[in-house]
Amino acid sequence: MAKVRVARRQREDAETASLRDALAALRDSEERFRAVVDSANEGILVYDRKLLVTAGNIAAERIVGLPLAQLIGKAGFTSQLPCVREDGAPLLPEERPTRITIRTGLPLTDHVIGIVRPEGTTTWLSVNTAFLRRPGELEYYGIVSTVSDITARRQAEAALRESEERFRLTFELAASGIAHVGLDARFLRVNRSLCDILGYSQEELVGRSVKDVSYLDDRDLTDSQRRRVRRGEVESARFEKRYVRKDGSIVWVDLAIALARDSAGVPQYEIAIFDDITERKHAEAALRQAHEELKRSNAELAQFAYVASHDLQEPLRMVSSYTQLLVRRYGDKLDGNAQEFMAYIVDGAARMKQLIEDLLAYSRVGTRSREFHQVAVEAPLRRAINNLRASVEEAGASITYDALPTVEADELQLSQLFQNLIGNALKFRSASVPRIQILAKEAAHEWEFTVKDNGLGIEPAYFERIFMVFQRLHNKGEYPGTGIGLAICKKVVERHGGRIWVESQLGEGSSFRFTLPKNQGEQ
């Protein structure tokens, strides 16, 4: 018996020992498990079959925002805090993740719900659930739920969505046509404006080769520009080319292309921006045509003036010469009246000859002029004064001038300009000794010259009129001349890109001012 007892005790001791060991192992395992659970970043909550919380970790406390003491033994945070579904609607009790799990009998993965905080913000959670079963049992004894805070991820996703939406809207609403073109030259994406420009729908364009809508003659141009961009020689290229619309009409486009590359620099697609410049092109062509027309008509007019004045002279010479011959040969046989009439014929012919010569000179300012060179203004001025020497001496006039600049001009025409202006100053002098000054004043882009006299002066009413062809302020008896001088001055100055005007008071002398650009290239 004793033997048996001993054996039993021994067995019991052994069992006790092994139980102790097992318990110790279990305790170790549970501690390890507890340590793992507590150190986990995800919140873990364990529910019993009645869906009351039986355990939880520190992360759950942090993520949910309730102390474990307030959770344990209760129905979980979704019943204690205001929660919403992923779409923002309030979370109904049957929509709680644990209930869904039980109802469907399936674990949940990445089920999103939100907790609405008192300050109005939402903490977004991703919830996973799983059934807890004992080994060998089919029936579950609880549910484990893991929750992670995905608020930051959701915000980033929302920001990305917003940004994408902004760019999509920009792309879609842009007034310019925009396309993303694949490296195989097919349209990947096109916006509405591009559809309008090319006359195709979005569906028709996407997948179509760009070459299909390019104007045949301009394809090489596009290819060469595209190659430069692809090779990385230039970041972007901009050029004008034509496309053929769906209806067959041609549209002019100002095209800008650039290459979109990935972060490794590998080309992904081409970004192309199209601006419809057809109207501008048509306007340019019309302007060019009008310009050509004007040039041709101006040339015709100049030719006409030349021929007219030339051919007018011949009959005039006949009238004048034969009248004079008549007087010369038969003058002694004519009475005084006849002599006087003849004199009027001759005088009329001479005046007409002068008018024709002046008209010819005027028309020649534009048609038979020389190219512009650097001219020291003093040279043509001196030449003009020299040409007027006789009149200057006769009038006892004094002519003085400033230091004068060098300008880009037609020297002969400048000399003609000064000669006409100084000639007028001498001609329309007052009773006092003529004093004529030539002044030059520098401005930003031009020189302003003044020919100032102490002569008769001009009434302001005539300031414009005196620059017109054959406009005179005095009768022919007082002051001879056809009235072409200032018209020629105006034409010369305007041909040089300058302006001419007069400042004067009757009896106070006149200042004729004109400007010449410093550099003809700036015109």
Please identify, using beta-carbon distances, which residue of 306 and 501 lies nearer to other proteins: 306
Q: Does 309 bind other proteins (CB under 8 A)?
A: yes
- Give the x-and-dash track for 288-307 against other proteins (CB under 8 A): ------------------x-
* Shortest Å, Cβ 325 to other proteins: 6
Contact residues for 208 (Cβ-Cβ < 8 A; gap 6+): 186, 187, 200
Q: Does 366 bind other proteins (CB under 8 A)?
A: no
**Contact range with other proteins by CB under 8 A, out of 59-67, 289-297, 356-364, 469-477:** 356-364
* Shortest Å, Cβ 307 to other proteins: 10
**Tokens standing for 284?**
């340019």
Q: What number of CA atoms fall less than 13 Å from residue 325's CA on the CB side?
A: 6
Number of residues that bind other proteins (CB under 8 A): 24
Q: Does 357 bind other proteins (CB under 8 A)?
A: yes
Q: How many CB atoms lie within 10 A of CB 292?
A: 10
* Shortest Å, Cβ 356 to other proteins: 8
81, 123 in Cβ contact below 8 A?
no
DSSP 350-385: HHHHHHHHHHHHHHHHHHS-PPPEEEETHHHHHHHH
In angstroms, the Cα distances linking 291 to 368, 492, 496 are 20, 21, 19
Please identify, using beta-carbon distances, which residue of 50 and 333 lies nearer to other proteins: 333
- Give the x-and-dash track for 368-407 against other proteins (CB under 8 A): x---------------------------------------
| Burial of residue 179 (number of CB atoms within 10 Å: 0-12, 13-18, 19+) | buried
Among residues 186, 228, 245, 353, which is the contact residue for other proteins, using CB under 8 A? 353
Q: Does 492 bind other proteins (CB under 8 A)?
A: no
Q: What is the dihedral of CA 468, 469, 472, 476, to 10 degrees?
A: 170
Contact residues for 260 (Cβ-Cβ < 8 A; gap 6+): 180, 267, 268, 269, 270, 271
Q: Residue 5 in 3-state DSSP?
A: helix
Residue 270's DSSP bridge partners are: 181, 259
Q: What is the DSSP letter of 275?
A: E
d(CA 330, CA 168): 102
* Shortest Å, Cβ 310 to other proteins: 5
Which residues, numbered 310-349, are part of the site for other proteins (CB under 8 A)? 310, 313-314, 316-318, 320-322, 324-325, 328, 346, 349
Please identify, using beta-carbon distances, which residue of 277 and 338 lies nearer to other proteins: 338
* Shortest Å, Cβ 200 to other proteins: 60
**Tokens standing for 272?**
């192309």
Please identify, using beta-carbon distances, which residue of 276 and 358 lies nearer to other proteins: 358
Contacts of the segment 19-26: beta carbons below 8 A, 24+ positions apart:
none
In single-letter form, the type of residue at position 287 comes to: L
**Tokens standing for 96?**
């709680």
Q: Look up tokens 């004079």; give the residue.
A: 324
Please identify, using beta-carbon distances, which residue of 195 and 414 lies nearer to other proteins: 414
Closest CA to 149 of 41, 71, 67: 41
Among residues 99, 364, 435, 495, which is the contact residue for other proteins, using CB under 8 A? 364
**Contact range with other proteins by CB under 8 A, out of 24-32, 107-115, 128-136, 360-368:** 360-368
* Shortest Å, Cβ 316 to other proteins: 6
**Contact range with other proteins by CB under 8 A, out of 176-184, 236-244, 354-362, 444-452:** 354-362
DSSP 426-480: HHT--SSPPEEEEEEEE-SSEEEEEEE--SS---GGGTTGGGSTT--SS-TTTS-
Q: What is the DSSP letter of 167?
A: H
- Give the x-and-dash track for 412-451 against other proteins (CB under 8 A): ----------------------------------------
Please identify, using beta-carbon distances, which residue of 320 and 424 lies nearer to other proteins: 320
Among residues 83, 205, 213, 360, which is the contact residue for other proteins, using CB under 8 A? 360
Residue 126's DSSP bridge partners are: 112, 148
* Shortest Å, Cβ 174 to other proteins: 59
283, 248 in Cβ contact below 8 A?
no
**Contact range with other proteins by CB under 8 A, out of 352-360, 433-441, 471-479, 485-493:** 352-360
Q: Look up tokens 């040279």; give the residue.
A: 379
- Give the x-and-dash track for 247-286 against other proteins (CB under 8 A): ----------------------------------------
Helices marked H in 40-107 — which ranges? 58-64, 68-71, 77-80, 97-104
* Shortest Å, Cβ 484 to other proteins: 14
Closest CA to 497 of 372, 363, 402: 372
* Shortest Å, Cβ 313 to other proteins: 5
* Shortest Å, Cβ 376 to other proteins: 22
* Shortest Å, Cβ 312 to other proteins: 9
Please identify, using beta-carbon distances, which residue of 328 and 333 lies nearer to other proteins: 328
* Shortest Å, Cβ 399 to other proteins: 25
**Tokens standing for 106?**
């399936």
Residues within the interface to other proteins (CB under 8 A): 306, 309-310, 313-314, 316-318, 320-322, 324-325, 328, 346, 349-350, 353, 356-357, 360-361, 364, 368
